[in-house]
Amino acid sequence: MKQTTDQRYRKALNICSANLSGEQGKDPLESAVCFFRMGVVLSRLGELGGAIRCFNDAFLLRDLSDELQDSHDWREFHDVQMAIYILGKRRKAIASLAEGDMVHDLIKHRWQQLQLEIKESEIPFLGKDLHSWFQTVHIDFPWELEELDEFDGGQNGHFDEVDLLECVRITQ
């Protein structure tokens, strides 16, 4: 009997969730890799909302600097901008840890610029509907990275044979 997309999604979600629960928050970089892999799987299954959330979590976890972690506005800005980036790509996914780190750094840099501009502005910033405003902020994303042929996301940015087989197994 052939599995439906929903069945494959649920199977992938269970496997990846089990992997994450085994991490117990000990190593945020390992948890980030699990989230990244789950994002790849969900993207391939066409579950873009879940994939975007996983990619978001992965690259926020990979940023070990503590300066912005507790800011709700930063998180919302990052979520919106990461979604804009992913939805603007043909494949609707991030191909490698390096690509995701680069996009995260662009988003973080733009956030820091916005905060400085608000602080130095002579006109008071009221910011009542930040989500809508975040959607209008432009970041010049490098869309040409989409030409990468393979997803890449294991240890040191590369899938080993076991990881590749695991991703194939849970999507079938």
SS3 38: helix
Q: In what helix (H) or strand (E) does residue 97 lie, and over which residues does it extend?
A: helix 97-120
Task: Give the pLDDT of residue 149.
Answer: 43
Higher pLDDT, 5 or 106: 106
| 87-120 core/surface letters (b: 16 or more CB in 10 A; e: else) | eebeeebbbbbebbbbbbebbbebbeebeeeeee
Residue 169 is predicted with a pLDDT of 53
| Max CA separation in the chain (angstroms) | 66
Q: What is the DSSP letter of 115?
A: H
Question: Looking at residues 18-38, what average pLDDT do you find?
Answer: 73
Select the more confidently predicted residue: 169 or 134. 134
CA distance 169 to 11: 10
N- to C-terminal Cα separation, the chain: 12
What is the pLDDT confidence band of residue 55, given thresholds at 50, 70 and 90? Answer: very high
Query: How does pLDDT run across 94-148, given as a tens digit for each residue?
Result: 999 999 999 999 999 999 999 898 888 788 777 677 778 888 888 988 866 555 4
Mean pLDDT, rounded, for 7-15: 64
